[in-house]
Amino acid sequence: MKHYSFEILNKLISEIYPFTSGNIEELQDYLDFQGLSRNKNIKWSLGLITEFYNKWDWEALEENRAVFDSLTLGLFFPDKVTLPACECYRKLEFCDYASCRVNYNKFHFARSLHSQYPQEFIKLAMMCESGFIDFEMVKDFYMTKNSEKLLRFRISI
């Protein structure tokens, strides 16, 4: 992978890496919360969203299918998110059905760095999912702002 600025890699890692709430707590001063708000690999919970309430990109959280599958933001954070009006056959007051047109469109057109940096996004996603990039490497990257820390090989004999 060619050399990228800290800012670009920070955005990519924030959107892709499967951070735990402890990881986020530890790196909160370095993470890009806009990208983190789009992260589909986090185990989203009411506690996690509440803990970093003032840091989230609420529009990105609302477009994030993983967040939608975990909780209904509009019920817990009505000051930040409006409950989606139902547009499906169910004609409910609000819709928590993922296939309802209003929700489908929201997820389908959600912003992501995948469209801006497709090759890098896919490569980093594969490295994170396979465990090639682990939290210690991510932490070293943030502490040193050195992209080589993400891509070093760890070999034990």
Q: Are residues 62 and 73 in contact, defined by beta-carbon separation less than 8 angstroms?
A: yes
pLDDT for residue 151? 65
- What Rg, from alpha-carbon coordinates, does the chain have? 17
Taking residues 3-19, report their average pLDDT: 89
| Cα(94)–Cα(144) distance, integer angstroms | 46
Residue 135 CA, distance from chain mean position: 16
Minimal CA–CA distance to 127: which of 5, 13, 3?
Answer: 13
What does pTM read for this prediction? Answer: 0.78
CA separation (Å) from 116 to 1, 10, 70, 121?
16, 14, 27, 9
Whether 105 has a pLDDT exceeding 60, the answer reads no
pLDDT for residue 120? 85
Taking residues 26-33, report their average pLDDT: 96
Q: Compute how many other C-beta atoms are within 10 angstroms of the C-beta atom of residue 61.
A: 22
Per residue in 49-81, pLDDT (tens digit) is 999 999 999 999 988 988 888 887 877 888 897
Q: Which amino acid is at 24?
A: I
Minimal CA–CA distance to 35: which of 55, 14, 20?
Answer: 14
The continuous run of DSSP H or E covering 46 comes out as helix 46-51
Q: Which two tokens stand for residue 119?
A: 């090759």
pLDDT band at residue 6, thresholds of 50, 70 and 90? confident
